[in-house]
Structure 1
Amino acid sequence: MLRSARLRRDPGPPPPDAHAVAAGHDTRLLSHGARRPRSILLLHGYTHSPAQLDGLAERFFARGYNVLVPRAPGHGLTDPDAHATVTAPALLGYATAALDRIAEMGEETGVVGVSAGAVLATWLAAFRPGVVRRLLVLAPLYAPHPGQVPAAVRVPLQVLYGLRALPDRRNARGYSYRAVAQYLRIVASYPSVFPADGVRHVAAVLSPGDTTVDPRAAFDLPTRLARPAGATLRLDTLPAGLGLAHDIISAHRLGPHAPVLNERYVELYEDTYR
């Protein structure tokens, strides 16, 4: 059930959202007006919108990339609770369509994903290996932190909330259990053995203060993806002194550290960070 083949087929485009997009939260396309040597897809986190990645998008654009930051279904809308209605097929449809669009705009294409967006970015790298050449995941939500959801009940809760068999609940961050279960269904659909071709470079970043994601899974999955492909791999833990928790990208969280960290993320993606 968790590894349903239906999640691996072309999921098609996501259904249209029923609510209007909030001002400043819609899809961003930063284009140089022509196909470039490099293009990149940036996927924002759960409960966020493309605005979360404005600083990083501008940094990649300044380096010559064509950049697409699409709005996920149910996100960035005037209804602040619409994100709870997301489904795994709709999320995969949105990510696949966005990758197809940006891949036409660059000779080499890569993906950056934040938190739940990293789940989709990794799925694209696994099932579109001929398209995704570079992958960067920031605080990837492959599994909840053991302090949030003990390992023994993780799969039963994932199934029950994923099938909407239990009434929805929200955690302290405002995350819908049903919505998070959709992302975890996607993780469960990853191949047991990742493709031996495709990605050339993989990087993952985690903050030591993150109590939202499972830190072991955050580094284990990128390693499993990179190894069979012979890709270069960078696993980066941010300095504890920064005081960051799960959100390691939003400008209001980074404060004065934003320019340095955004540059660090670009260099990790390009494998030039020292």
Structure 2
Amino acid sequence: MAQQNSPARRTALGRIGITLSALLALVLLAVAVLYAWPLGGSDLQRATPKTFTFDAAVGQAQQVVAAETADPAVRPECRSVVMSHGAKTTKAVLLLHGYTDCPKQYASLAKRYFDEGYNVWVPRAPRHGVTDELAHAKLEAGELVSYADDALNLATGLGDEVGVVGISGGGVLATWLADRRPDAVRHLLLLSPFYKPNSAQAPGFVVKPTIVLFGFHLLPDKVNSAGFSFAALSQYLRIARNLDLDHRNPQLASVAVVTSANDDFIDRQEAVAVPRRLATSSNRTLVVHELPAELGIGHDVVEPDGLGGRADELDGIYFDLYEGTRKG
């Protein structure tokens, strides 16, 4: 019987040790590469301001709606919405809906703005509101910021003063506009902004590797039980990582954020910290409003069907926060 510490056994154990060490080194190298992977991109850090007359803005919005009406792939309830008083108004608002949702999310709030004298533009996001329920999985960060930038350009033709409201992923895009378009954004209202997932959804240490692996398509996409694509969510998170929150917006008059105590989808601390830094850089005070748990409202704080009959009440709160007349 061979001795336990025979030369052959020691050689075999040595080879196993070398192999394990090499594998560990490769794993550590892979982790280091993922954390060092740059998330920036010139297309995510550059906006293209354009000027529209009122007639040109309304004409383009109507063309968008007509094209969506003629497209059988676009669900009728999800078509873009333009609400016009027939002339350029003192104020106009751009409403950006959330990930996997569409303009109907703002059915009630859009009417509130219109009734208050605003011209309103609610554009459908790319790959949203269509019959293919997984079309959103092919989203790219570049097309999202282009969509937001183009939408704001159009909105500037609708009113002398323009602001942006965004919910969830649309909140990320609204923040990007306030950051990159100081020429145009006067008011900013963020509803459950998705800058970072709740730790119950994804621990902080996995967020960047997830953005890299799925956002840059290094791994095949994964769709969870809620129908959310890891690749698509990573595009919004990548945009959030490209914000320049120290950039001053001298035009910014008000910044407010609304969260819900029941929202287990977003990191609520980050939802406040990001706009607070943006507001501070522009010498403004962030107004924070949290919906209490007893209301039973989760992540979507704006779509009427999920507000338990409180849509009119909450629309009033949101409108006042947007205008800067409510302090929390």
Normalised-by-shorter TM-score class: over 0.9
Asked whether the equivalents of residues 47 and 181 of structure 2 are also in contact (C-alpha less than 8 Å), the reply is no
Task: Map 1:200-211 to 2 at 5 A.
Answer: 200-211=253-264
CA positional deviation for 1:217: 0.6
Task: Map 1:74-223 to 2 at 5 A.
Answer: 74-223=127-276
Q: Residue type matched to 1:8 in 2? A: Q
1:254 match:
307
| Aligned structure 1 segments of 4 or more residues deviating by more than 4 angstroms | 16-19
Change (3 A) 1:19 1:3: farther
Q: Residue type matched to 1:179 in 2? A: A
Q: TM-score, normalised by structure 1?
A: 0.95
Q: Residue type matched to 1:267 in 2? A: D
| Residue-by-residue CA offset, 1:84-122 (whole Å, 9 max, x unaligned) | 111111111111111000111111100000000000000
Asked whether the equivalents of residues 199 and 229 of structure 1 are also in contact (C-alpha less than 8 Å), the reply is yes
2:264 aligns to what SS in structure 1?
Answer: coil
Choose which of 29, 40, 50 in structure 1 pairs with 2:93: 40
Structure 1 unaligned residues grouped into runs of 5+: none
Structure 2 unaligned residues grouped into runs of 5+: 1-37, 50-66
**Cα distance between partner residues in 2 of 1:192 and 1:254:** 32
**Cα distance between partner residues in 1 of 2:72 and 2:252:** 37
1:218 aligns to what SS in structure 2?
Answer: helix
Aligned residues: 271
Q: Radius of gyration: which is bigger?
A: 2
% identical equivalent positions? 43
**Cα distance between partner residues in 2 of 1:226 and 1:147:** 28
Asked whether the equivalents of residues 276 and 285 of structure 2 are also in contact (C-alpha less than 8 Å), the reply is no
2:76 aligns to what SS in structure 1?
Answer: coil
- Pairwise CA RMSD: 1.7
Q: Residue type matched to 1:248 in 2? A: V
CA positional deviation for 1:7: 1.3
Asked whether the equivalents of residues 19 and 79 of structure 1 are also in contact (C-alpha less than 8 Å), the reply is no
Choose which of 33, 40, 46 in structure 2 pairs with 1:9: 46
Choose which of 79, 102, 109 in structure 2 pairs with 1:26: 79
**Cα distance between partner residues in 2 of 1:163 and 1:140:** 22
Asked whether the equivalents of residues 11 and 90 of structure 1 are also in contact (C-alpha less than 8 Å), the reply is no
